[in-house]
Amino acid sequence: MNEHPGPDMKIILISPKMNLRPMDSEFKRLMSPPLGLLTLAALTPHGHDIRIADENTHDMNMHDQADLVGITVNVDTSSRAYQLASHFKKRGIPVILGGIHVSANPEEALRHADSVCIGEAENVWADILANRETGGLKKIYKSDDPVNPRRIPLPARNLISSSKYLYTNIMYTSRGCPFKCDFCYNSCDYITNRHRNRPTNQIIDEIKSFHTRQVMFIDDNFIGNIPWTADFLKKIKPLNLTWHAAVSSNLVHHKDLILLMRESGCRSLFIGFESINHDSLKSVRKRQNQIDRYQELIRFLHQNGIMINASMVFGFDEDTPNVFSNTLHWLVKNKIETVTAHILTPYPGTELYKRLKAENRITDFNRNHYNTSNVVFRPKRMSAEELKQGYLQIYREFYSYKNIFARMPIGKKRQIPYILFNLGYRKFGKVTSKLGRLGLMNTIGRLARRLSYGIG
Protein backbone atom coordinates (compact mmCIF):
# COMPACT_ATOMS: atom_id res chain seq x y z
CA MET A 1 0.00 0.00 0.00
CA ASN A 2 1.04 3.59 -0.62
CA GLU A 3 0.33 6.72 1.37
CA HIS A 4 -2.44 8.95 0.05
CA PRO A 5 -2.66 12.74 0.21
CA GLY A 6 -6.43 13.07 0.61
CA PRO A 7 -8.77 12.61 3.59
CA ASP A 8 -9.18 9.17 5.11
CA MET A 9 -12.17 7.15 3.96
CA LYS A 10 -13.95 4.14 5.39
CA ILE A 11 -14.37 1.53 2.65
CA ILE A 12 -16.41 -1.67 2.91
CA LEU A 13 -15.84 -4.44 0.36
CA ILE A 14 -18.64 -7.01 0.36
CA SER A 15 -18.85 -10.61 -0.80
CA PRO A 16 -22.59 -11.51 -0.87
CA LYS A 17 -23.83 -14.82 0.48
CA MET A 18 -23.62 -17.73 -1.98
CA ASN A 19 -26.63 -19.85 -2.91
CA LEU A 20 -26.21 -23.52 -2.02
CA ARG A 21 -27.08 -26.32 -4.44
CA PRO A 22 -29.00 -29.42 -3.24
CA MET A 23 -25.79 -31.42 -2.69
CA ASP A 24 -23.85 -28.53 -1.11
CA SER A 25 -23.17 -27.94 2.56
CA GLU A 26 -21.66 -24.98 4.39
CA PHE A 27 -18.27 -26.16 3.10
CA LYS A 28 -19.23 -24.43 -0.15
CA ARG A 29 -19.63 -21.06 1.55
CA LEU A 30 -16.69 -21.43 3.90
CA MET A 31 -14.22 -23.03 1.51
CA SER A 32 -11.93 -19.99 1.07
CA PRO A 33 -11.80 -16.19 1.46
CA PRO A 34 -12.60 -13.72 -1.37
CA LEU A 35 -9.12 -13.21 -2.87
CA GLY A 36 -10.28 -10.53 -5.31
CA LEU A 37 -11.46 -8.25 -2.51
CA LEU A 38 -8.33 -8.94 -0.45
CA THR A 39 -6.23 -7.95 -3.46
CA LEU A 40 -8.07 -4.63 -3.81
CA ALA A 41 -7.57 -4.07 -0.10
CA ALA A 42 -3.84 -4.58 -0.58
CA LEU A 43 -3.88 -1.91 -3.31
CA THR A 44 -5.64 0.61 -1.07
CA PRO A 45 -3.32 3.36 0.25
CA HIS A 46 -2.44 3.46 3.93
CA GLY A 47 -4.69 5.66 6.01
CA HIS A 48 -8.00 4.46 4.64
CA ASP A 49 -10.04 2.22 6.92
CA ILE A 50 -10.89 -0.80 4.76
CA ARG A 51 -13.12 -3.66 5.87
CA ILE A 52 -13.93 -7.02 4.26
CA ALA A 53 -17.54 -8.09 4.83
CA ASP A 54 -18.00 -11.71 3.75
CA GLU A 55 -21.64 -12.67 4.22
CA ASN A 56 -20.66 -16.31 3.93
CA THR A 57 -18.95 -16.16 7.32
CA HIS A 58 -21.03 -13.60 9.22
CA ASP A 59 -24.13 -11.44 8.87
CA MET A 60 -23.74 -8.04 7.24
CA ASN A 61 -23.99 -5.02 9.53
CA MET A 62 -26.67 -3.11 7.62
CA HIS A 63 -26.20 -0.04 9.83
CA ASP A 64 -22.47 0.29 9.23
CA GLN A 65 -21.23 3.70 8.12
CA ALA A 66 -18.92 4.07 5.12
CA ASP A 67 -17.68 6.53 2.52
CA LEU A 68 -17.68 3.88 -0.20
CA VAL A 69 -19.15 0.39 -0.58
CA GLY A 70 -17.81 -2.02 -3.19
CA ILE A 71 -19.62 -5.31 -3.93
CA THR A 72 -18.32 -8.23 -5.98
CA VAL A 73 -21.08 -9.92 -7.99
CA ASN A 74 -21.57 -13.40 -9.48
CA VAL A 75 -24.74 -14.28 -11.38
CA ASP A 76 -26.29 -16.33 -8.55
CA THR A 77 -25.41 -13.69 -5.92
CA SER A 78 -26.57 -10.77 -8.06
CA SER A 79 -30.03 -10.51 -6.46
CA ARG A 80 -28.51 -10.24 -3.00
CA ALA A 81 -25.82 -7.87 -4.27
CA TYR A 82 -28.45 -5.55 -5.74
CA GLN A 83 -30.42 -5.63 -2.46
CA LEU A 84 -27.31 -4.58 -0.57
CA ALA A 85 -26.52 -1.87 -3.12
CA SER A 86 -30.05 -0.45 -2.86
CA HIS A 87 -29.88 -0.43 0.94
CA PHE A 88 -26.60 1.50 1.10
CA LYS A 89 -27.61 3.87 -1.69
CA LYS A 90 -30.78 4.79 0.22
CA ARG A 91 -28.54 5.70 3.14
CA GLY A 92 -26.58 8.06 0.91
CA ILE A 93 -23.46 5.86 0.67
CA PRO A 94 -21.93 5.58 -2.84
CA VAL A 95 -21.91 2.02 -4.17
CA ILE A 96 -19.76 0.50 -6.91
CA LEU A 97 -20.38 -2.99 -8.28
CA GLY A 98 -17.77 -5.21 -9.92
CA GLY A 99 -17.00 -8.84 -10.57
CA ILE A 100 -17.54 -11.20 -13.47
CA HIS A 101 -21.35 -10.85 -13.73
CA VAL A 102 -21.12 -7.05 -13.70
CA SER A 103 -18.39 -7.09 -16.34
CA ALA A 104 -20.58 -9.25 -18.57
CA ASN A 105 -23.79 -7.27 -17.85
CA PRO A 106 -22.81 -3.69 -16.94
CA GLU A 107 -26.10 -2.07 -18.06
CA GLU A 108 -28.09 -4.32 -15.74
CA ALA A 109 -25.76 -3.66 -12.80
CA LEU A 110 -25.74 0.10 -13.33
CA ARG A 111 -29.48 0.21 -12.62
CA HIS A 112 -28.69 -0.78 -9.04
CA ALA A 113 -25.55 1.21 -8.19
CA ASP A 114 -23.83 4.56 -8.56
CA SER A 115 -21.01 3.03 -10.56
CA VAL A 116 -19.76 -0.20 -12.13
CA CYS A 117 -16.32 -1.62 -12.84
CA ILE A 118 -15.91 -3.59 -16.07
CA GLY A 119 -12.97 -5.97 -16.27
CA GLU A 120 -10.09 -6.35 -13.84
CA ALA A 121 -10.35 -3.78 -11.06
CA GLU A 122 -6.63 -3.46 -10.30
CA ASN A 123 -6.10 -1.11 -13.24
CA VAL A 124 -8.81 1.35 -12.15
CA TRP A 125 -8.98 1.04 -8.34
CA ALA A 126 -6.72 4.06 -7.79
CA ASP A 127 -8.97 6.18 -10.05
CA ILE A 128 -12.08 5.01 -8.22
CA LEU A 129 -10.64 6.03 -4.85
CA ALA A 130 -9.35 9.37 -6.17
CA ASN A 131 -12.71 10.25 -7.73
CA ARG A 132 -14.56 9.38 -4.53
CA GLU A 133 -12.20 11.52 -2.46
CA THR A 134 -12.66 14.55 -4.71
CA GLY A 135 -16.42 14.34 -5.05
CA GLY A 136 -18.18 11.85 -7.27
CA LEU A 137 -17.70 8.53 -9.01
CA LYS A 138 -17.93 8.10 -12.74
CA LYS A 139 -20.73 5.83 -13.92
CA ILE A 140 -18.38 3.38 -15.60
CA TYR A 141 -14.79 2.36 -14.94
CA LYS A 142 -13.47 0.06 -17.62
CA SER A 143 -10.19 -1.83 -17.62
CA ASP A 144 -9.56 -2.24 -21.36
CA ASP A 145 -6.16 -3.87 -20.95
CA PRO A 146 -5.35 -7.01 -18.97
CA VAL A 147 -3.67 -6.12 -15.71
CA ASN A 148 0.10 -6.53 -15.60
CA PRO A 149 0.74 -9.50 -13.25
CA ARG A 150 3.64 -7.60 -11.69
CA ARG A 151 1.13 -5.03 -10.41
CA ILE A 152 -0.90 -7.63 -8.53
CA PRO A 153 0.07 -7.44 -4.83
CA LEU A 154 -0.20 -10.23 -2.29
CA PRO A 155 -3.76 -10.30 -0.87
CA ALA A 156 -4.28 -8.53 2.45
CA ARG A 157 -5.06 -11.76 4.32
CA ASN A 158 -4.71 -10.01 7.67
CA LEU A 159 -8.17 -8.49 7.09
CA ILE A 160 -10.00 -11.81 7.46
CA SER A 161 -10.24 -14.39 10.23
CA SER A 162 -8.58 -17.55 8.91
CA SER A 163 -10.44 -19.71 11.46
CA LYS A 164 -13.68 -19.18 9.55
CA TYR A 165 -12.43 -20.79 6.31
CA LEU A 166 -11.62 -24.38 5.44
CA TYR A 167 -8.61 -23.27 3.39
CA THR A 168 -6.72 -19.99 3.35
CA ASN A 169 -3.74 -21.56 1.56
CA ILE A 170 -5.18 -20.72 -1.87
CA MET A 171 -3.56 -18.62 -4.58
CA TYR A 172 -3.38 -17.78 -8.28
CA THR A 173 -0.29 -18.23 -10.43
CA SER A 174 -2.01 -16.69 -13.46
CA ARG A 175 -4.94 -14.72 -14.81
CA GLY A 176 -7.11 -15.68 -17.76
CA CYS A 177 -7.50 -18.74 -19.94
CA PRO A 178 -6.35 -19.40 -23.52
CA PHE A 179 -9.72 -20.93 -24.51
CA LYS A 180 -13.12 -19.33 -25.23
CA CYS A 181 -15.78 -22.01 -24.69
CA ASP A 182 -19.32 -20.76 -25.43
CA PHE A 183 -20.68 -21.51 -21.93
CA CYS A 184 -17.80 -19.73 -20.18
CA TYR A 185 -17.54 -16.03 -19.32
CA ASN A 186 -14.41 -15.99 -21.45
CA SER A 187 -16.76 -15.84 -24.47
CA CYS A 188 -18.24 -12.49 -23.33
CA ASP A 189 -17.75 -9.31 -25.37
CA TYR A 190 -15.95 -7.50 -22.55
CA ILE A 191 -13.20 -10.08 -22.17
CA THR A 192 -9.65 -8.95 -22.89
CA ASN A 193 -8.51 -11.45 -20.33
CA ARG A 194 -5.65 -13.17 -22.11
CA HIS A 195 -3.65 -15.68 -20.13
CA ARG A 196 -0.79 -14.17 -18.07
CA ASN A 197 1.46 -15.60 -15.37
CA ARG A 198 2.64 -13.86 -12.22
CA PRO A 199 6.36 -13.52 -11.47
CA THR A 200 7.63 -16.81 -10.04
CA ASN A 201 9.55 -15.20 -7.16
CA GLN A 202 6.38 -13.41 -6.02
CA ILE A 203 4.42 -16.67 -6.08
CA ILE A 204 7.09 -18.43 -4.02
CA ASP A 205 7.06 -15.60 -1.47
CA GLU A 206 3.29 -16.02 -1.14
CA ILE A 207 3.62 -19.79 -0.72
CA LYS A 208 6.15 -19.28 2.08
CA SER A 209 3.72 -16.95 3.86
CA PHE A 210 1.16 -19.77 4.28
CA HIS A 211 3.12 -21.63 6.96
CA THR A 212 1.91 -24.93 5.46
CA ARG A 213 3.29 -27.04 2.68
CA GLN A 214 -0.12 -27.68 1.13
CA VAL A 215 -1.19 -25.22 -1.58
CA MET A 216 -4.36 -24.89 -3.67
CA PHE A 217 -3.67 -23.23 -7.02
CA ILE A 218 -7.06 -21.86 -8.14
CA ASP A 219 -6.15 -20.56 -11.59
CA ASP A 220 -8.79 -20.84 -14.33
CA ASN A 221 -6.25 -23.06 -16.08
CA PHE A 222 -2.97 -23.91 -14.34
CA ILE A 223 -1.48 -25.12 -17.66
CA GLY A 224 -2.48 -22.12 -19.78
CA ASN A 225 1.20 -21.61 -20.62
CA ILE A 226 2.90 -25.01 -20.73
CA PRO A 227 6.57 -23.84 -20.87
CA TRP A 228 5.98 -21.45 -17.96
CA THR A 229 4.28 -24.17 -15.90
CA ALA A 230 7.13 -26.62 -16.53
CA ASP A 231 9.72 -24.05 -15.43
CA PHE A 232 7.63 -23.12 -12.38
CA LEU A 233 7.31 -26.73 -11.23
CA LYS A 234 11.07 -27.19 -11.42
CA LYS A 235 11.54 -24.13 -9.21
CA ILE A 236 9.04 -25.17 -6.52
CA LYS A 237 10.24 -28.77 -6.35
CA PRO A 238 12.74 -27.99 -3.52
CA LEU A 239 9.86 -26.60 -1.40
CA ASN A 240 8.53 -30.15 -0.87
CA LEU A 241 4.92 -29.07 -1.37
CA THR A 242 1.65 -30.95 -1.61
CA TRP A 243 -0.43 -29.09 -4.16
CA HIS A 244 -3.66 -29.18 -6.17
CA ALA A 245 -4.83 -27.29 -9.28
CA ALA A 246 -7.38 -27.04 -12.10
CA VAL A 247 -6.28 -27.94 -15.63
CA SER A 248 -7.72 -28.56 -19.09
CA SER A 249 -7.80 -32.08 -20.53
CA ASN A 250 -5.25 -31.23 -23.23
CA LEU A 251 -2.77 -32.10 -20.46
CA VAL A 252 -2.79 -35.55 -22.11
CA HIS A 253 -0.39 -34.16 -24.74
CA HIS A 254 2.20 -33.29 -22.09
CA LYS A 255 3.26 -36.44 -20.26
CA ASP A 256 6.60 -34.88 -19.28
CA LEU A 257 4.67 -32.12 -17.50
CA ILE A 258 2.64 -34.72 -15.58
CA LEU A 259 5.91 -36.28 -14.40
CA LEU A 260 7.05 -32.84 -13.22
CA MET A 261 3.71 -32.42 -11.45
CA ARG A 262 4.22 -35.66 -9.55
CA GLU A 263 7.82 -34.83 -8.65
CA SER A 264 6.90 -31.34 -7.39
CA GLY A 265 4.07 -32.59 -5.14
CA CYS A 266 0.84 -32.66 -7.17
CA ARG A 267 -1.79 -34.79 -5.41
CA SER A 268 -5.00 -33.97 -7.29
CA LEU A 269 -6.26 -32.14 -10.37
CA PHE A 270 -9.66 -30.66 -11.20
CA ILE A 271 -10.18 -31.43 -14.91
CA GLY A 272 -12.90 -30.02 -17.16
CA PHE A 273 -13.90 -33.17 -19.03
CA GLU A 274 -17.47 -31.76 -19.21
CA SER A 275 -18.90 -34.55 -21.40
CA ILE A 276 -18.11 -37.95 -22.89
CA ASN A 277 -20.12 -36.98 -26.01
CA HIS A 278 -17.94 -35.48 -28.75
CA ASP A 279 -20.86 -33.70 -30.44
CA SER A 280 -21.83 -32.05 -27.14
CA LEU A 281 -18.36 -30.55 -26.73
CA LYS A 282 -18.27 -29.45 -30.35
CA SER A 283 -21.57 -27.61 -29.91
CA VAL A 284 -19.99 -25.24 -27.35
CA ARG A 285 -16.58 -24.91 -29.04
CA LYS A 286 -14.68 -26.87 -26.39
CA ARG A 287 -12.25 -28.06 -29.04
CA GLN A 288 -9.31 -28.66 -26.72
CA ASN A 289 -11.01 -31.77 -25.31
CA GLN A 290 -10.30 -35.09 -27.06
CA ILE A 291 -12.67 -37.70 -25.64
CA ASP A 292 -10.82 -40.60 -27.26
CA ARG A 293 -7.80 -39.74 -25.08
CA TYR A 294 -9.63 -39.19 -21.76
CA GLN A 295 -8.90 -42.70 -20.50
CA GLU A 296 -5.24 -42.40 -21.49
CA LEU A 297 -4.97 -39.23 -19.40
CA ILE A 298 -6.81 -40.75 -16.44
CA ARG A 299 -4.66 -43.89 -16.49
CA PHE A 300 -1.39 -41.92 -16.64
CA LEU A 301 -2.40 -39.60 -13.80
CA HIS A 302 -3.40 -42.53 -11.62
CA GLN A 303 -0.13 -44.31 -12.40
CA ASN A 304 1.61 -41.22 -11.05
CA GLY A 305 -0.45 -41.04 -7.86
CA ILE A 306 -2.56 -38.04 -8.89
CA MET A 307 -6.28 -38.06 -8.03
CA ILE A 308 -8.91 -36.56 -10.33
CA ASN A 309 -11.90 -34.32 -9.64
CA ALA A 310 -13.89 -34.54 -12.88
CA SER A 311 -16.10 -31.62 -13.92
CA MET A 312 -19.11 -32.93 -15.87
CA VAL A 313 -21.89 -30.90 -17.50
CA PHE A 314 -25.33 -32.19 -18.51
CA GLY A 315 -27.92 -30.63 -20.80
CA PHE A 316 -26.04 -30.05 -24.04
CA ASP A 317 -28.21 -30.15 -27.16
CA GLU A 318 -26.81 -33.57 -28.09
CA ASP A 319 -27.56 -35.07 -24.65
CA THR A 320 -30.41 -37.58 -24.29
CA PRO A 321 -31.70 -39.13 -21.03
CA ASN A 322 -29.20 -41.99 -21.30
CA VAL A 323 -26.30 -39.53 -20.85
CA PHE A 324 -26.57 -39.96 -17.07
CA SER A 325 -26.24 -43.75 -16.92
CA ASN A 326 -23.52 -43.71 -19.60
CA THR A 327 -21.52 -41.06 -17.73
CA LEU A 328 -21.94 -42.78 -14.36
CA HIS A 329 -20.68 -46.06 -15.81
CA TRP A 330 -17.68 -44.27 -17.35
CA LEU A 331 -16.81 -42.46 -14.12
CA VAL A 332 -16.96 -45.60 -11.98
CA LYS A 333 -15.14 -47.77 -14.54
CA ASN A 334 -12.27 -45.28 -14.64
CA LYS A 335 -12.19 -44.97 -10.83
CA ILE A 336 -12.61 -41.20 -10.91
CA GLU A 337 -12.08 -40.17 -7.30
CA THR A 338 -14.52 -37.24 -7.17
CA VAL A 339 -16.94 -35.53 -9.52
CA THR A 340 -18.39 -32.03 -9.65
CA ALA A 341 -21.53 -32.14 -11.79
CA HIS A 342 -23.37 -29.21 -13.34
CA ILE A 343 -26.53 -28.57 -15.28
CA LEU A 344 -25.58 -26.54 -18.36
CA THR A 345 -26.23 -22.93 -17.36
CA PRO A 346 -26.30 -20.06 -19.88
CA TYR A 347 -24.64 -17.28 -17.90
CA PRO A 348 -25.97 -13.90 -19.11
CA GLY A 349 -23.48 -12.29 -21.47
CA THR A 350 -21.97 -15.53 -22.78
CA GLU A 351 -22.26 -16.85 -26.32
CA LEU A 352 -24.42 -19.72 -25.04
CA TYR A 353 -26.86 -17.28 -23.44
CA LYS A 354 -27.10 -15.21 -26.61
CA ARG A 355 -27.82 -18.29 -28.72
CA LEU A 356 -30.45 -19.77 -26.40
CA LYS A 357 -32.14 -16.40 -25.98
CA ALA A 358 -32.25 -15.92 -29.77
CA GLU A 359 -33.86 -19.38 -30.01
CA ASN A 360 -36.42 -18.34 -27.34
CA ARG A 361 -35.27 -21.18 -25.09
CA ILE A 362 -34.52 -19.29 -21.86
CA THR A 363 -37.36 -20.20 -19.51
CA ASP A 364 -36.21 -18.84 -16.15
CA PHE A 365 -34.73 -15.38 -15.57
CA ASN A 366 -34.41 -15.67 -11.79
CA ARG A 367 -30.68 -15.15 -11.29
CA ASN A 368 -30.75 -17.06 -7.98
CA HIS A 369 -31.34 -20.20 -10.05
CA TYR A 370 -28.20 -19.74 -12.18
CA ASN A 371 -25.97 -21.86 -9.93
CA THR A 372 -25.68 -24.93 -12.23
CA SER A 373 -28.23 -26.96 -10.23
CA ASN A 374 -31.38 -25.67 -11.94
CA VAL A 375 -32.74 -25.97 -15.48
CA VAL A 376 -33.21 -22.40 -16.73
CA PHE A 377 -33.63 -23.21 -20.44
CA ARG A 378 -35.53 -25.67 -22.63
CA PRO A 379 -33.34 -28.70 -23.46
CA LYS A 380 -33.51 -30.21 -26.95
CA ARG A 381 -33.49 -33.98 -26.44
CA MET A 382 -35.00 -34.40 -22.99
CA SER A 383 -37.48 -32.60 -20.77
CA ALA A 384 -36.41 -30.09 -18.14
CA GLU A 385 -37.59 -32.52 -15.45
CA GLU A 386 -35.55 -35.38 -16.93
CA LEU A 387 -32.46 -33.14 -16.91
CA LYS A 388 -33.00 -32.05 -13.30
CA GLN A 389 -33.72 -35.54 -11.98
CA GLY A 390 -30.89 -37.11 -13.95
CA TYR A 391 -28.46 -34.56 -12.51
CA LEU A 392 -29.59 -35.28 -8.95
CA GLN A 393 -29.53 -39.03 -9.58
CA ILE A 394 -25.92 -39.07 -10.81
CA TYR A 395 -24.82 -37.40 -7.56
CA ARG A 396 -26.76 -39.93 -5.48
CA GLU A 397 -25.39 -42.89 -7.45
CA PHE A 398 -21.79 -41.68 -7.75
CA TYR A 399 -21.52 -41.04 -4.01
CA SER A 400 -23.43 -44.19 -2.98
CA TYR A 401 -21.57 -46.53 -0.62
CA LYS A 402 -21.40 -49.13 -3.38
CA ASN A 403 -19.72 -46.79 -5.85
CA ILE A 404 -17.48 -45.17 -3.26
CA PHE A 405 -16.10 -48.64 -2.58
CA ALA A 406 -15.92 -49.48 -6.32
CA ARG A 407 -13.87 -46.35 -7.03
CA MET A 408 -11.45 -46.80 -4.13
CA PRO A 409 -7.89 -45.99 -5.30
CA ILE A 410 -5.38 -48.83 -5.28
CA GLY A 411 -2.50 -46.82 -3.84
CA LYS A 412 -2.70 -46.43 -0.05
CA LYS A 413 -1.42 -42.84 -0.18
CA ARG A 414 -4.56 -41.79 -2.03
CA GLN A 415 -7.05 -43.71 0.08
CA ILE A 416 -7.24 -41.44 3.14
CA PRO A 417 -7.85 -38.18 1.20
CA TYR A 418 -10.26 -40.13 -1.01
CA ILE A 419 -12.29 -41.34 1.98
CA LEU A 420 -12.25 -37.93 3.67
CA PHE A 421 -13.62 -36.20 0.59
CA ASN A 422 -16.18 -38.82 -0.39
CA LEU A 423 -17.50 -39.31 3.15
CA GLY A 424 -16.56 -36.20 5.13
CA TYR A 425 -17.22 -33.65 2.42
CA ARG A 426 -19.88 -35.21 0.18
CA LYS A 427 -21.69 -37.97 2.06
CA PHE A 428 -21.74 -36.34 5.48
CA GLY A 429 -20.79 -32.79 4.47
CA LYS A 430 -23.81 -31.19 6.14
CA VAL A 431 -22.87 -32.82 9.46
CA THR A 432 -19.16 -31.99 9.45
CA SER A 433 -19.76 -28.45 8.20
CA LYS A 434 -21.96 -27.76 11.25
CA LEU A 435 -18.83 -28.23 13.32
CA GLY A 436 -17.04 -25.79 11.05
CA ARG A 437 -19.73 -23.19 11.72
CA LEU A 438 -18.56 -23.16 15.36
CA GLY A 439 -15.36 -21.44 14.22
CA LEU A 440 -13.58 -24.72 13.55
CA MET A 441 -13.51 -24.67 9.76
CA ASN A 442 -9.79 -23.99 9.50
CA THR A 443 -9.13 -26.57 12.22
CA ILE A 444 -11.00 -29.14 10.10
CA GLY A 445 -8.86 -28.18 7.11
CA ARG A 446 -5.63 -28.60 9.10
CA LEU A 447 -6.78 -31.96 10.45
CA ALA A 448 -7.64 -33.15 6.93
CA ARG A 449 -4.17 -32.11 5.72
CA ARG A 450 -2.47 -33.96 8.54
CA LEU A 451 -4.50 -37.14 8.03
CA SER A 452 -4.18 -37.06 4.23
CA TYR A 453 -0.61 -35.90 3.70
CA GLY A 454 1.08 -35.79 7.10
CA ILE A 455 1.47 -32.00 7.00
CA GLY A 456 0.00 -29.18 9.07
One fold for 10-142 and 169-407: no
The predicted structure's pLDDT at residue 7:
61
Mean pLDDT by 10 residues, the chain (456 residues): 65 95 83 94 94 94 95 96 97 96 94 95 94 92 86 92 89 85 75 81 94 92 96 97 95 96 97 82 61 90 96 94 95 95 94 94 96 96 97 94 93 85 75 68 79 76
CB atoms within 10 A of CB 255: 13
From residue 199, give the alpha-carbon distance in Å to each of 150, 154, 173, 418: 7, 12, 8, 33
The predicted structure's pLDDT at residue 390:
97
Q: What is the 3-state secondary structure (H, E, C) of 102-140?
A: HHHCHHHHHCCCCEEEECCHHHCHHHHHHHHHHCCCCCE
The predicted structure's pLDDT at residue 282:
66
Judge whether 208 and 237 are in contact, CB under 8 Å: no
Judge whether 76 and 197 are in contact, CB under 8 Å: no
The predicted structure's pLDDT at residue 167:
87
Architecture label for domain 10-142: 3-Layer(aba) Sandwich (3.40)
Question: Which CATH number is 169-407 given?
Answer: 3.20.20.70
Query: Can you give the residue ranges of every domain in the chain?
Result: 10-142, 169-407
The predicted structure's pLDDT at residue 2:
52
